Amino acid sequence: MPFDFRRFDIYRKVPKDLTQPTYTGAIISICCCLFILFLFLSELTGFITTEVVNELYVDDPDKDSGGKIDVSLNISLPNLHCELVGLDIQDEMGRHEVGHIDNSMKIPLNNGAGCRFEGQFSINKVPGNFHVSTHSATAQPQNPDMTHVIHKLSFGDTLQPWPPTTTS
């Protein structure tokens, strides 16, 4: 029994007593099926494809959150004396603090040759920056070695472990 291409015709002509397949109908049927397959595969690949979007959003400072973010910083500078270390805070709302010392502590390291800086402070929820620098020192060092190790840097409220532990 030879292969008959006309049997792919979905849109058969209706003769007097039966339907009759045609080559044109078979070509239209195959083209439609291929087009449907193409649409299905293109939608499937669009669904499966992973799109990585790197964005960081900071809440609107005018909302009910108070407009502040708590920051906790713990950093070691093994080759910089404590009297040279300071925290500078700047933002677009006009805040510019050099040598911020509230809620901060400087602990000498390496027999006074280095310093561990620990501090908690709040920043406005607007574009800006904070950085550890020597700007607050009375005399600027010639070539400060700002080699550092960040032990902790966290933003926002401290989260409790989940599930909460209970003691009986």
Task: Say what the pLDDT of residue 58 is.
Answer: 62
Domain ranges of the chain: 5-48, 68-155
Task: Say what the pLDDT of residue 5 is.
Answer: 84
Task: Say what the pLDDT of residue 143 is.
Answer: 84
pTM strictly above 0.75 = no
Tokens 């005018």, located at residue:
62
The overall average pLDDT reported for the chain is 82
Task: Say what the pLDDT of residue 41 is.
Answer: 97
pLDDT higher than threshold 90 for residue 28:
yes
When pLDDT is averaged across residues 131-151 and rounded to a whole number, the result is: 82
pLDDT tens digits, one per residue of 54-110: 887 665 655 555 678 888 999 999 988 888 888 888 888 777 778 777 778 889 988
Top-ranked range on mean pLDDT: pick from 99-103, 140-144, 152-156: 152-156
pLDDT band at 6 (very low <50, low <70, confident <90, very high): confident
When pLDDT is averaged across residues 151-157 and rounded to a whole number, the result is: 87
pLDDT tens digits, one per residue of 42-56: 999 999 998 888 887
